[in-house]
Amino acid sequence: MGFNPTARERYIRVRLKVALNIVFKFQEGVREVAFNKGESILLWRASQDSALDVIRQFDRNDFYLLQTSQTEDQEYMLTVSRVKRQR
């Protein structure tokens, strides 16, 4: 697990100890993905947003913020919003 301070993202990455081939079978055909020993795979990534970033994201997605509160440790945030009305 790691943290990228520039992108403000947490991530989990694994490094393969053996070569790995994964075969996906679709209606349109087959797709194979091959990884070599020693390659890394990103399993999970999450942005670590500030309260202001979250509020801006709600606004960009057409929500009108009515109320917001945050826990003292700034770990959780509760918001009450409504969908913006079309004019």
Q: Tell me, yes or no, whether 26 and 54 share the same domain.
A: no
Q: Tell me, yes or no, whether 4 and 18 share the same domain.
A: yes
Q: Tell me, yes or no, whether 1 and 25 share the same domain.
A: yes
The answer for residues whose C-beta is within 8 angstroms of residue 70's C-beta and 6 or more apart is 51, 76, 77, 78
Query: pLDDT, tens digit, for every residue of 46-56?
Result: 988 888 988 99
Query: pLDDT, tens digit, for every residue of 22-49?
Result: 999 999 999 999 999 999 999 999 988 8
pLDDT at 51: 87
Q: How many domains does the chain have?
A: 2
Mapped onto helix, strand or coil, the DSSP state of residue 59 is helix
Residue 35's domain spans which residues? Answer: 1-48
